[in-house]
Amino acid sequence: MKVLVLDNVSEKAVRILSEGGIEAVVNNNKLTEDELCRIIGDYDGVIVRSATKITAPVIAAAQKLKIIGRAGVGVDNIDIPAATHAGVIVVNAPDGNTIAATEQTMALMLGLARNLPQAHKDLKEGKWMRKEYLGVELRNKVLGIIGLGRIGTAVAKRAQAFEMKTIGYDPMVSPEAAAANGIVLKAMEDVIKEADFLTLHIPKTKESLNMINRETLAMMKDGARIINVARGGIINEADLYEALKSGKLAGAALDVFAAEPTTESPLFELNNVIVTPHLGASTREAQVNVALDVAKEFVNVLVKGEMAVNAVNVAPIKPDLLAAVRPYLTLAEKLGKMQAQLVEGSIHNIRITYTGELAQIDVSPLTISYLKGFLESLAEESGAVNFVNAPVIAKERGIMVEEIRTGEAGDYTTLISARTESADTLEIAGTLFGRDDPRIVLVDGFRVDVVPRGNILVIPHHDRPRVAGPVASIVGEHNLNIAGMQVGRKSVGGKAIIMLAVDTAAPDEVLAEISKVDGVLDVKMVTL
């Protein structure tokens, strides 16, 4: 495995990669898109900070690429849709610079309240401007926080130490969770209207671009102040300039800008604006922490074959959830593989039902694992489907995926069942015996007990004598060793199914002979 390390990422990350068995190639030159396209094809992974852009052409040129790492939080410099469609995992380091960005926010808030940079500058120029720089206290002021993730919550805790009242908006946070951190959850409009200081801690998306604009700035209190240590572009800088120049706002502190790097802006002309050159994550500790977090993810994904914890184009999996679902990942994938090889016609709906203990947890990783197995069997090219792009490919194929959880598992502690709908319907189900012994226990209504491994002949037939024997004889005559055999039926004399495991996949001529056995209704070779 080879990983390209760019943008002066910490040497400690290189050490983690090397110790994990990955060849790390460091290139600290500023590469153009064309230069990166020429070399990226040799690498299984690439780690960047914010300088290098991983664009769609770069991803298209990276035939071996499996993972892209951003040593930081923001992934604006990575084409996420292109990576997802190519099946490339994109990971970031959301925890490593939390404290750095939090402390930068507090520093800017204090500087804004007490005019510290302006007073510092004037005094060094020989001006004693004591009366001109009358400040305000943070105590008893309302801090409005838009975005209550790690950084927003950490800012709230520190602001509370200054005896500020903290209110916030985040559609993904419950009132109870906010209250547990001393934050009163409100509608975004109310947060904007009530804040004496407004701080932003959200990613830049289509929805958040220019979110703070002429209309929202007009809602703010006269004399309020705003801080942005999140992403440039969330605040419309032209509208902010007008609000500051007119006196509507008392001040603004910006660490990020719509275009970076930038050294010229109308905002720089205003004395009530504090600016810093995107220093939110720029501490020695943060640069090391984010690099180490990403390097560890690379070792886990590329060497150990584990799922990424901090993937931004796959639903992130917390360690406790990963531990809970890990035993079932293989089972779910094998169910998908088998079902794809048995079903006929164009699939338009897949319903996956989780019963028993699995109904109590987030099963989305298992659904993705099932889809990976299902679509992999239909893909023209090996490796074209993985955990990243399986949901995207399913959507492109027009397959609707339903996920159902229910506590009733019947005869099993847990059960995963999948039902496909096309011209016909087909349902298969599986469970675990113990903690690591996956079994297929239901195929098209027939109860079976099959280890989902290797090659399995699936033979629906009429339940009568002289069917299983002739089938086994044909297999033996072609020197195919039988590894196991299961027969399932619903009623005596009705329809039944043979599940015949063989050490080597049966060629077409064997399938043709078996299909001619009196009583055989169909025969399929399933390879797992």
**What one-letter code names the amino acid at 495?**
K
Pairing of strands 349-356, 414-421: antiparallel
**How far from chain centre, in Å, is Cα 120?**
44
Answer whether 340's CB lies under 8 Å from 377's CB: yes
DSSP-based three-state secondary structure for 436: coil
Compute the half-sphere exposure of residue 436: CA atoms within 13 Å on the CB side of its CA: 2
| 260 included as an active-site residue | yes
Contact between 204 and 176 under an 8 Å Cβ cutoff? The reply is: no
Q: Which of 260, 285, 477, 509 is catalytic?
A: 260
Q: What are phi and psi of 241, to 5 degrees?
A: -55, -45
Q: Nearest to residue 133, comparing CAs of 113, 110, 148, 149?
A: 113
Beta carbons of 458 and 499 less than 8 angstroms apart: yes
Residue 297 annotated as catalytic = no
| Catalytic pick among 85, 225, 278, 461 | 278
Angle subtended by helix axes 98-114 and 116-124, to nearest 10: 60
Decide: residue 230, CB within 10 A, 0-12 exposed, 13-18 middle, 19+ buried: buried
HEC string of 296-334? HHHHHHHHCCCCCCCECCCCCCCHHHHHHHHHHHHHHHH
Signed CA dihedral, 355, 361, 364, 368: sign only: negative
What are 378's two structure tokens? 């239909």
278 is catalytic: yes
- Residue 144 burial class via C-beta count within 10 angstroms: exposed 0-12, middle 13-18, buried 19 and up: buried
Residues 484 and 440: their CA atoms lie apart, in Å, by: 13
Choice among 49, 70, 225, 231 that is catalytic: 231
Which residues are identified as catalytic?
Answer: 231, 260, 278
